[in-house]
Amino acid sequence: MTAYATLDSPIGPLLLTADAAALSRLYMAPFRIDPAWVHDPAALAEPARQLAEYFAGERTAFELALAPAGTEFQQRVWRLLRAIPFGETTTYGTLAGELGNPRTVRAVGLANGRNPISIVVPCHRVIGADGSLVGYGGGIDRKRALLAHEAEVAAGFRATLW
């Protein structure tokens, strides 16, 4: 059974789903709710609490059971995303190099784009080689807002964007 809940956030509504007590999706609006899913905010209370803390500038790391569906390569990329420190960025090329093959830059970009648990698996922390904000399913404005929020919190300031 897949449980779902929606959550208001400073970057707009979020959709959270859980399968077997693990967060399986975190999508930004617009999103589609599968009619087979069961509306169960209680099942997603902990992810919702941690996200509220993140947006309030009180949390810099998530401690959640995750169950993102994806290929082995995608899973490897998503594990690397989780290792990007809060308030910092990296490039697709750097991630490809960490995987042992700099030629996989495009594949890394595609895996990054298929990340089903945005924010918690911080795909927004990946930028272009020239420092530009490229490729974000939630939109560049949201990516910019998330990065600015994290930079401000990391610098020791209370988030004021929200």
Q: Residues with catalytic annotation?
A: 123
Looking at residue 112, what DSSP letter applies? Answer: H
Q: Which residues pair with 127 in a beta bridge?
A: 91
What CA–CA distance (Å, rounded) separates 27 from 127?
20
What CA–CA distance (Å, rounded) separates 108 from 146?
21
What CA–CA distance (Å, rounded) separates 46 from 154?
23
Query: CA nearest 66: which of 25, 32, 119, 37?
Result: 25
**Residue 50 tokens, joined:** 């941690």
